[in-house]
Amino acid sequence: MSPAQVNHPLPAGFRLEQYRIERQIASGGFSIVYLAYDAAEMPVAIKEFLPYSLALRVADSPEPVIDDIYRATFNEGLRCFFEEGRTLALLDHPNVVRVFNFFRANGTAYLVMAYERGRTLREHIKRHSGPVTESFLRRMFVHLLNGLREVHSHKLLHLDIKPANIFLRSNGMPVLLDFGATRQIIGRDQPQPQAIHTPGFAASEQYDGRTDLGPWTDIYGVGASIYFCLAGASPQAADLRARKDDLIPAARRWKGQYSADLLQTIDLCMRLDLLERPQSVFSLQRKLSHPQDELPNPAGLMSSLRYKLGALLPK
């Protein structure tokens, strides 16, 4: 089959266990997402595992056709997708997409998720007139990191953090969407190179099938997402930076427009050397929650203490 072929979505009205498909709402190289309704007529989002480079659904059959040469890779991806669903179903956090159910059908697998109303961070930035405020960025990403900490505590990585996968509810609260761990597994075994990374947001260690992935990998995506919010465009891809780094550091590009602390934090997250990045979400969250620029000056604090305590402290 040709990698350029696009799979047919399941038709409106199609039944998946107790769910009724309403329409397709998103699609990509590895999955199709539908708006559906459950038995109580409540809306849900259903994600179908269907990598178009491995499996092809023709219009008249719900079960995709898979060539023998792709069968092993498809089955491994399917296993990872299902296990990812099993893990996500254990998470119940306001900043992580809620998975209600997961099951196999039609020769593939499905995740049933909460249907969120709002728009992605990417859409928000593209529609926003003028620069975003630092307070918005800090508040929004601190909440997002709460969710990412929960993900990492379950030994799961996101591996595709980017503005298009950060959903903003109508109240402004962010939700992490569309985990990329399964795509990472598939990409290692693909017979042909596939776009398993999102250029500009994937860390250097996500290329060439490297195995040194960890929290620092997701932290690169967080830094790149904040960079996008300031630039309105994706930063230079990490693999290109490794050959010739043309990325203008945030501390230089937006000097004087945002605090030095925020800009330096972005650059730290986007270091090509994974050992130079924050190694945990908690450490990054502290930087965003407690900007050093706003901490009391030690010399000023001592002067204040001297003033208040008088002779109790030497002058």
Mean pLDDT estimate for the chain? 86
Read off the pTM: 0.83
Identity of the amino acid at 113: M
- Check whether residue 172 and residue 129 sit in a common domain: yes
Quick one: 126 and 215 in the same domain? yes
Beta-bridge partner residues of 167: 120, 175
If asked whether residues 82 and 125 sit together in one domain, one would say no
Query: Which pLDDT score, from 0 to 100, does residue 132 have?
Result: 95
pLDDT the model gives residue 231: 97
> Over the stretch 54-95, which tens digit does the pLDDT of each residue have?
999 987 789 999 999 999 989 988 988 888 888 889 899 999
Q: How far apart are CA 20 and CA 265, in angstroms?
A: 45
Radius of gyration of the chain (CA): 22
Cα angle for residues 203, 70, 199 (degrees, 5° grid): 20
Say yes or no: 106 and 206 in one domain. no
pLDDT at 11 over 70: yes
How far apart are the C-alpha atoms of 19 and 21, rounded to whole Å? 7
Domain assignment present for 95: yes
How many domains does the chain divide into?
Answer: 2
Please report, to the nearest 10 degrees, the dihedral formed by the alpha carbons of residues 166, 179, 102, 117 taken in order. Answer: 10
> Which whole number is the average pLDDT over 138-161?
93
Q: Which residues of 110-124 are buried (b: 16+ CB within 10 A; e: fewer)?
A: bbbbebbebebbbeb
Q: Is the pLDDT of residue 245 over 90?
A: yes
Instruction: Report the alpha-carbon distance of residue 253 to residue 37 in Å, rounded.
Output: 47
Q: In Å, how far from its chain's centre is CA 248?
A: 23
Closest CA to 10 of 26, 29, 23: 23
Question: In this structure, is residue 150 part of a structural domain?
Answer: yes
Q: Tokens standing for 121?
A: 């961070």
Q: Residue 112: pLDDT band by 50, 70, 90 thresholds?
A: very high
pLDDT band with cut points at 50, 70 and 90 for residue 292: low
Task: Please report the pLDDT score of residue 301 as a whole number.
Answer: 34
Residue 156's domain is classified under what CATH number?
1.10.510.10
Does residue 53 carry a pLDDT above 70? Answer: yes
> Tell me, what's the pLDDT at 311?
36
Q: Quick check: is 75 in a domain?
A: yes
Domain that holds residue 134: 120-176+197-294
Q: Where does the pLDDT of residue 308 fall: very low under 50, low under 70, confident under 90, or very high at 90 and above?
A: very low
Instruction: Give the pLDDT confidence score for residue 77 in this predicted structure.
Output: 87
